[in-house]
A = this chain, B = another copy of it.
């Protein structure tokens, strides 16, 4: 008998038929003798409908009221899921975030979990009830409803799994796991059976939308083993855990691509301490996240700074940088257009040499020009032309034998 925390996303509970399917799946675990805590999201579409209604009334709705409004979505799903289980003869009880003791700070719409008391969840489990908890929401210490921001329901599930010392945490979604590459690009992409938190974090940071980084980081910090799998079939998914001995044999776990980046160059910057810091501070103040930074010394004590930003932030970044350049005599901003960021990720890089060599040899053999390079301990990323992205991903996937 295990204690399992399961999380079902918005598409998995999108309508009453799907909620009934989720209930049948939960019943299977109950029938096998497990104790189950279920975290659910709002039905897909509900949150967007609520936001649209709010914006009709107020283009900039108060964030506390926004949380009060959005919490409604999950509250509907927990009650419906409990009713569906009851109709299958499974005793179930719903709990809002507040009732489940998911305590957060007061940062409405993007609250951080400060504590999980669990409320009376353990007592309910002892009474052989399935407990259905509203994901994405919590309560601050003065009793205001808060929400956790994007990917909040995953975080609710992983945090509950940690607090309840669950044996397993299952993240049910509309994809059946994490793949060695996007199957729409690489036809021979395979599902990864096991990977480390760090690898998934590197994947997530490259636009792989399976999970938000904060949930993976929380799992890593509290050592919560979780499985990403589909709620629409019974295939095994991808298990994510600490770097295990078995993982070391695998050099590279996957190839990822992010086509949503724009390359920005600030040229002829006075090469003195604090200049880069000033540039990045202004971008940070404008809420712009910077990725893939490269600095080169040019002639005459001047430097060029190249980095990438999200395509959506490109024009805002240009405005900010134009202002900064006015204070930096002779500097220019150049937005050189959208690029693709292609990366290989694998904890095996730590112990295996030759990964970088194979990486660049493969791109060269395919005549792909590299515009930016960044690396981490377990990742190599390059910025290349959007036109080359598909060719690069396929070539790397094959070169690192990910299809084997």
Q: SS class of chain A's interface: helix, strand, loop or mixed?
A: helix
Tell whether, in the assembled complex, residue B79 and residue A75 are in contact, meaning their CB atoms are under 8 Å apart. Answer: no
CB distance from A216 to the nearest CB of B (A): 31
- The answer for the CA separation of A93 and B80 in the assembled complex, in Å, is 28
Tell whether, in the assembled complex, residue B16 and residue A53 are in contact, meaning their CB atoms are under 8 Å apart. Answer: yes
Beyond A79-B68, A93-B64, is A87–B16 a contact (Cβ under 8 Å)?
no
C-beta contact mask, A74-104 vs B, less than 8 Å → 1, else 0?
Answer: 0110111011101100000110100100000
**How many copies of this protein are present in the complex?**
2
Tell whether, in the assembled complex, residue A65 and residue B87 are in contact, meaning their CB atoms are under 8 Å apart. Answer: no
Count class of interface residues, chain A = 35 or more
Which residues of the partner chain B approach A76 to less than 8 Å between Cβ atoms?
A: 50, 69, 72
A71 interface residue, CB < 8 Å from B?
yes
Q: List the one stretch of A54-62, A148-156, A229-237 in contact with chain B.
A: A54-62
Tell whether, in the assembled complex, residue B99 and residue A83 are in contact, meaning their CB atoms are under 8 Å apart. Answer: no
Tell whether, in the assembled complex, residue B19 and residue A57 are in contact, meaning their CB atoms are under 8 Å apart. Answer: yes
A20 interface residue, CB < 8 Å from B?
yes
Beyond A71-B75, A75-B75, is A65–B53 a contact (Cβ under 8 Å)?
no
Which residues of the partner chain B approach A54 to less than 8 Å between Cβ atoms?
A: 79-80, 83
Which residues of the partner chain B approach A72 to less than 8 Å between Cβ atoms?
A: 72, 75-76, 79
Which residues of the partner chain B approach A79 to less than 8 Å between Cβ atoms?
A: 54, 65-66, 68-69, 72
Query: Restricting to A84-126, which residues have a CB under 8 Å from any CB of B?
Result: 84, 86-87, 93-94, 96, 99
**Residue from A54, A61, A62 with most neighbouring chain B CB atoms (10 Å):** A62
Which residues of the partner chain B approach A83 to less than 8 Å between Cβ atoms?
A: 54, 57-58, 61-62, 65-66, 69
21 A-B pairs with CB atoms under 8 Å apart are A16-B57, A20-B57, A23-B57, A50-B76, A54-B79, A57-B80, A57-B83, A58-B84, A64-B93, A65-B79, A65-B83, A66-B79, A66-B83, A68-B94, A69-B75, A72-B72, A72-B76, A72-B79, A75-B75, A96-B145, A99-B143
